[in-house]
Structure 1
């Protein structure tokens, strides 16, 4: 009887809390993605964990790993082509990529749903010049981030510092490119 009472109380309290991501999942809108709220999480340098290590194959068939970006700030964007917020933020990401290319930061996408041809078509449509790892089969890149700042929504953009540690995360669509630009500059200046 006591177990039933504890379970009932737990369920009652759980019902009182609000989790926007869970609400989107259960609303049944069939939009095909869970959108983040655009919230920004910054992690002070002294509180960052270990470097994130990942590897995979790009949409062009190249093997790529986090080690290829050692010494630079790395911006990692989780996306897929049918995701409306991903399409909306693509021009801003490409503009920032062009701004920082050769200036201490590099960009890489992590496609969580599509096949390579779809990703290449997206790149052509939106003028994307940075590569994306195709993470559809095993989700290994997404899993590499899970212990630190999981990419709970698509899109999610994560900034890794020069040592490969997570310095910031934007959960959901990039609504103001200047915010990501500032996060990148701060990581470069460290």
Structure 2
């Protein structure tokens, strides 16, 4: 059954485009909008994810331990990524005072395309240039990325608490973030 569900997710529409020469074939693999959450006892991690953003600044999610982190895989020509961008921008703006961090992960675009997207949508958070695949590989070790966009929400301990495949529904994502913000902060290791 799990294999059938996985096959349906892969066949259902925006992921990485396939390229023939310089022409992008519009072969998207999109998520089905499904969500998965993990109970505190079942969460994997903490996630170790580092990279450099398109402005040349090092990003490391471990620096945000103690805060909730939202990770979003995207690329500039992905229609679902463009559709959800305003909602992710609003979430980043609204939740920054609560200590919530948003980090994009782009496995496809060069700096010019990615920065153009960030400017067009007034994206206030950084995105890792992941053309080498290291950030996606770090995620795959903890939670499968079956589509682009995929949104992962980390709890205050840096563990994967939720995954959303496809375009985020703002109310669903905000509810998940609210629940995690309300969880008690982890106690420091002795």
Task: Determine the C-alpha separation between the residues in 2 that align with 1:166 and 1:180.
Answer: 14
Gaps of 5+ in 2: 19-24, 184-190
8 A contact 2:12–2:31 mirrored in 1:
no
Q: What TM-score do you get using the length of structure 2 for normalisation?
A: 0.84
Gaps of 5+ in 1: 1-15
Task: Determine the C-alpha separation between the residues in 1 that align with 2:10 and 2:92.
Answer: 32
Runs of at least 4 residues off by over 4 Å: none
Q: 1:145 aligns with which of 121, 127, 139?
A: 139
Pairwise CA distance, 1:22: 4.0
Q: 2:182 aligns with which of 165, 185, 189?
A: 189
Pairwise CA distance, 1:89: 0.2
Pairwise CA distance, 1:147: 2.7
Task: Determine the C-alpha separation between the residues in 2 that align with 1:173 and 1:67.
Answer: 26
| Partner in structure 2 of residue 155 of structure 1 | 149
What is the aligned length?
171
8 A contact 2:51–2:135 mirrored in 1:
yes
Q: Which has the higher helix share?
A: 1
Task: Determine the C-alpha separation between the residues in 2 that align with 1:84 and 1:68.
Answer: 31
